[in-house]
Amino acid sequence: MSLLWVDELQTGVYDLDIKQIELFDRLNAFLMALGYKTGNPNICTNADIDMTFKFIEEYMIAHFDKEEGFIAEHQYPETETHKESHEAFKTNLARLKGKFDKRGISTTLTVETELYFKNWLTDHILTEDKAFGDFLQKKP
């Protein structure tokens, strides 16, 4: 399973869209690494999982920070709500990482992680990121 960028996900804000496309590439690399490790549990250590999650956690935090800075700069009235949504993602990422730490790598957990990413991102971009895009386009 991989995340597919489709035109429907465009917010109409070039700076946001270009970052989201890059984000999809990074997340796909993460999911591919996770999938590879799931298929090769004998060579996958806890340190591998830690490193894989750490990479995506740092990348997502940097991505969210940039996006939050951008929307705050434009005095978007829903900035705080948007930040809360990003925080929910971070919390769930930590929850998933905790499951890997506790149970080790498995196909079930890998699929759960992939589905969470896919559902959260699609929903977040289609509703909250797009709402910001609409706001920015209507702004005088």
Tell me the per-residue interface mask from 76 to 115 with Fe ion, x by CB under 5 A, - otherwise: ----------------------------------------
Q: Which stretch binds Fe ion (CB under 5 A): 4-12, 36-44, 105-113, 126-134?
A: 126-134
The smaller minimum CB distance to Fe ion, of residues 17 and 129, is found at 129
Nearer to Fe ion by C-beta: 67 or 114? Answer: 67
Give CA–CA dist 36/46, Å, rounded: 14
Instruction: Pick the piece of the chain touching Fe ion (CB under 5 A) from 11-19, 63-71, 98-106, 114-122.
Output: 63-71
Min CB(131)–Fe ion separation in Å: 10
Q: What 3 state SS string does 28-84 have?
A: HHHHHHHHHHHHCHHHCCHHHHHHHHHHHHHHHHHHHHHHHHHHHHCCCCCHHHHHH
Integer Cα distance of 125 and 119 in angstroms: 10
The neighbour count for residue 86, using CB atoms within 10 Å, is 18
Contact positions vs Fe ion (CB under 5 A): 67, 129
